[in-house]
Chains A and B, each alone.
Chain A
Amino acid sequence: MATQQARQKRVAAHYYLPAPSYWPVIGSLALLILAIGFVLLLQQVAAGQYIMLTGGAILIYMVYGWFDAVIRESVLGLFNDQVDASYRWGMCWFIFSEIMFFFALFGALFYARNFAVPWLGKATLLWPNFVATWPTAGPGMPDPFTPMAAWGIPAINTLILLTSGATVTWAHWGLKKNNRVQLKAGLALTILLGVIFIVLQIHEYTSADFSIRTGIYGTTFFILTGFHGAHVTLGAIMLSVILLRAFAGHFTPEKHFAFEAVTWYWHFVDVVWLLLFIFVYWI
């Protein structure tokens, strides 16, 4: 008992400094192999995909092992309040970097709609028959297509993601009240809604009347919604990890930063979707 108290005292007084770790170097190696594989694949070298798979597998191994180490430290109680604050700052700035990534993608959409396409419409010498409208596949790709309507599946998906934002908050309330059943149910419901969203999104992609090659409309549609979909998938995986940890008895009503971080991420993905719904599907 005495030693435990002594340790608690030390933990409170000191910022936790981890021992040397090989996970980062393994991660770098994984990314290098992944990149080499991708380069080869793009050059139609068949071995490329296997190299990519190897790199991906090492990356997953690294992410698993690294997070495993961090979670163990957290469960041992090695993180004091100052460490907790670092994680909070870190997650905030990570989400900010993600915001800037999507900012550039939205910037491309706005630039195309407000400058590139209208200017092409005025280039009467080059493209005499091109009328600048949105959506468009551009002057060199005259095939007609039907753009994605906002008030079908996309509207349902908006409802699904907004609801999932509410269910994850409900789960958080459960955690704070130490109601573990509510925590697990809320998380499971949120994951389920996320999965339904992804399934509907895949259905929308496969039934679309146009592809990523359909000029600037197809380009912006698939790249923007595609990157968002990838983030929803990542978010759902993160929520699943949190659910598994909830089953393992992790998190207390006072300390549960991992849960909160994933919630922040989920809300960020939610907000990006709202902007996508407005600017890609609706207006």
Chain B
Amino acid sequence: MSTDAINNAHSAKHAGGLLRWLSTTNHKDIGTLYMWFSFAMFLFAGALAMLIRAELFEPGLQLMRPAFFNQLTTMHGLIMIFGAIMPAFVGFANWQIPLMIGAPDMAFPRLNNWSFWLLPAAASLLLVSFFVPGGSISGGWTMYPPLYIQGGVAYDMTIFSLHIMGLSSIIGSINIITTILNLRAPGMTLMKMPMFVWTWLITAFLLISAMPVLASALTMLLTDRHFGTSFFNAAGGGDPVMFQHIFWFFGHPEVYIMILPAFGILSTVIPTFSRKPLFGYHSMVYATAAIALLSFIVWAHHMFTVGMPVAGQLFFMYSTMLISIPTGVKVFNWIATMWRGSLTFETPMLFAVAVICLFTIGGFSGLVLAIVPVDIQLQDTYYVVAHFHYVLFSGAAMAIMAGVYYWLPKWTGHMYNETLGKWHFWLTTIAFNITFFPMHFTGLAGMPRRIPDYALQFADFNMLSSIGAFVLGASQLLFLYTVVKCIRGGSHAGDNPWEGADTLEWTLSSPPPYHSFETPPTVK
């Protein structure tokens, strides 16, 4: 028997149609499932954002009751974070990590299937909660008590939905971290790993640390709601502020969970199109680790206005500012990678360069918000909305787009249409800035967030934001079209369409064989 019966048995006999996807244990299939799930959620939560911007197009109440507006802002945040951005990065991890470290698949292929198929279960609980009596949760994605304790049936559904998503994240991260630690090709030491793999190793550690804390906080909300506990009830000796501490102890690492893999994608794309190795690889690794560790001691900067001792405010202010140092190292290294490189600007590189510029703006507004006296003014204004959309949309989401264009030729075997890609890029970037840049001004002028109406002096900037948002939303349909077109056909990509790419996945065919590396390659 020349081929390995045990290992190849199932490649020949996997089910067809829907059953293939339900039962698959293949990292590429599961990666594809993650990417499509994420894209569907991205479009759905984006549609919610369109409704928000439609209501805010003009001052006054036009289209909806304020209670529904609150549901929209809350669910837009929850679904974008847990449904769109996190699953997209796990999709990249599934597709790319085995390819980049020379492994046949993930360490636990069946658990890998489970970590994906938990997501539709969780998402259905969350989406159906729009239609139960009282509608979905509406007090913001952060779920603060006492409001959260008082809500209706949707509040329980959201708790269980997030429990299941947390389970999915923990199982997925255990799988990723084990794959990276145990399945690297011979010769690939930790310090020879591609930067994308490094960022995911650290992200997986953050997920395993942070998600159980969220599970704890959700459980406390549930028992406070139904079983008479007093965690967040001052009359019983508890404290609603305690929830915020526990939530943000999860929530701040969560922020880096959503940006570190984006840094990994940037650190892969930029050297390729600069035709130079990544500048300062070691410092990049250490900076990633430093950001991850610091993320555990900055959580209270989300709650400067709830009341805490001055010593606490100072500590969290300085620790937050400290994060700008490793982040600055990263931005410096990306720019130094491009310095005197032979640059070309294909779509992935355009997105990557835009992320450097726009994410840096978000980083700077983050520094502004870290300053306690300034933050007390800006808490819950549109300045905060501008800040986190610059880091989460033009940081995380646009890095995802860079990654999609970069690896689509590998995944599908076809080149995407470069003209359409560039159209998508320019429309997205320009529309994004038209949408969110004015929010800096409305926020500084005092416009509060999560309110369906606003004072007349904010009318012009809001109309501008809304127009930008509609263009931004529509241009994502172009993204969908470009991706589908690439999957269905296009010029042949070859093993390596990018001249400067040197990671292991480009040594395989496009698309790669069913079991990526049957025999591990040897890394020098």
In the bound complex, what is the Cα–Cα distance between A73 and B177 (angstroms)?
Answer: 23
In the bound complex, what is the Cα–Cα distance between A109 and B161 (angstroms)?
Answer: 26
Residues of A within 8 A of B223 (CB): 212, 219, 223
In the bound complex, what is the Cα–Cα distance between A24 and B13 (angstroms)?
Answer: 19
Interchain CB contact under 8 A, B181 and A29:
no
Interchain CB contact under 8 A, B22 and A25:
yes
Closest B-chain residue to A9, C-beta based? Answer: B4
Residues of A within 8 A of B7 (CB): 10, 14-17
A106-120 interface (Cβ within 8 A of B): 107-108, 111-112, 115-117, 119-120
Interchain CB contact under 8 A, A32 and B124:
yes
Interface residues contributed by chain A, number (CB under 8 Å): 70
Cβ proximity bits A173-212 to B, threshold 8 Å, 1 near / 0 not: 0000000000000000000000000000000000000011
Tell yes or no: A1 within 8 A of B by CB: no
Tell yes or no: B25 within 8 A of A by CB: yes
Residues of A within 8 A of B422 (CB): none
Q: How distant is A216 from chain B, measured CB to nearest CB, in Å?
A: 3
Interchain CB contact under 8 A, A38 and B110:
no
Interchain CB contact under 8 A, B6 and A78:
yes
Closest B-chain residue to A23, C-beta based? Answer: B110
In the bound complex, what is the Cα–Cα distance between A32 and B213 (angstroms)?
Answer: 22
Tell yes or no: B187 within 8 A of A by CB: no
Interchain CB contact under 8 A, B515 and A17:
yes
Interface of A (DSSP majority class)? helix
Residues of B within 8 A of A23 (CB): 110, 114
Cβ proximity bits B207-244 to A, threshold 8 Å, 1 near / 0 not: 01111110111011001011111110111111101100
In the bound complex, what is the Cα–Cα distance between A29 and B183 (angstroms)?
Answer: 31
Given A19-B10, A93-B178, A97-B170: A140 and B235 interface contact (C-beta under 8 Å): yes
Given A17-B105, A90-B107, A138-B238: A28 and B114 interface contact (C-beta under 8 Å): yes
Interface of B (DSSP majority class)? helix
A1-50 interface (Cβ within 8 A of B): 6-7, 10-11, 13-25, 27-29, 31-32, 35-36, 38-39, 42-43
The stretch of A81-89, A160-168, A240-248, A256-264 that contacts the partner chain:
A81-89
Interchain CB contact under 8 A, A111 and B236:
no
In the bound complex, what is the Cα–Cα distance between A94 and B111 (angstroms)?
Answer: 13
In the bound complex, what is the Cα–Cα distance between A215 and B215 (angstroms)?
Answer: 22
Tell yes or no: A217 within 8 A of B by CB: yes
Tell yes or no: A100 within 8 A of B by CB: yes
Closest A-chain residue to B115, C-beta based? Answer: A24
Closest A-chain residue to B160, C-beta based? Answer: A35
Given A89-B178, A111-B239: A24 and B113 interface contact (C-beta under 8 Å): yes
Interchain CB contact under 8 A, B113 and A112:
no
Interchain CB contact under 8 A, A90 and B208:
no
Tell yes or no: B480 within 8 A of A by CB: no
Interchain CB contact under 8 A, A101 and B110:
no
Interchain CB contact under 8 A, A93 and B177:
yes
Cβ proximity bits A140-164 to B, threshold 8 Å, 1 near / 0 not: 1100000000000000000000000
In the bound complex, what is the Cα–Cα distance between A22 and B113 (angstroms)?
Answer: 9
Interface residues contributed by chain B, number (CB under 8 Å): 81
B132-163 interface (Cβ within 8 A of A): 153, 156-157, 160-161, 163
B82-129 interface (Cβ within 8 A of A): 103-105, 107-111, 113-114, 117-118, 120-121, 124-125
Interchain CB contact under 8 A, B182 and A85:
yes
Q: How distant is B176 from chain A, measured CB to nearest CB, in Å?
A: 10
Q: How distant is A276 from chain B, measured CB to nearest CB, in Å?
A: 15
Cβ proximity bits B46-76 to A, threshold 8 Å, 1 near / 0 not: 0000000000000000000000000000000
Q: How distant is A42 from chain B, measured CB to nearest CB, in Å?
A: 5
Interchain CB contact under 8 A, B114 and A15:
no
Cβ proximity bits A207-233 to B, threshold 8 Å, 1 near / 0 not: 000011101111100110000000000
B1-36 interface (Cβ within 8 A of A): 1, 4-7, 9-10, 13-15, 20, 22-25
Tell yes or no: B164 within 8 A of A by CB: yes
15 contacts between A and B (CB under 8 A): A10-B5, A19-B25, A20-B15, A31-B167, A35-B121, A35-B157, A39-B160, A42-B226, A93-B178, A101-B213, A103-B213, A104-B212, A104-B217, A219-B229, A223-B231
Q: With A25-B23, A219-B229 given, name 12 new contacts (CB 8 A).
A: A20-B24, A28-B120, A31-B167, A42-B153, A82-B182, A89-B181, A89-B182, A104-B212, A116-B234, A212-B223, A215-B230, A219-B230
Chain A residues engaging chain B, CB cutoff 8 angstroms: 6-7, 10-11, 13-25, 27-29, 31-32, 35-36, 38-39, 42-43, 66, 78, 82, 85-86, 89-90, 93-94, 96-98, 100-101, 103-105, 107-108, 111-112, 115-117, 119-120, 136-141, 211-213, 215-219, 222-223
5 interchain residue pairs of minimum CB distance: A140-B235, A138-B237, A104-B216, A24-B114, A216-B237
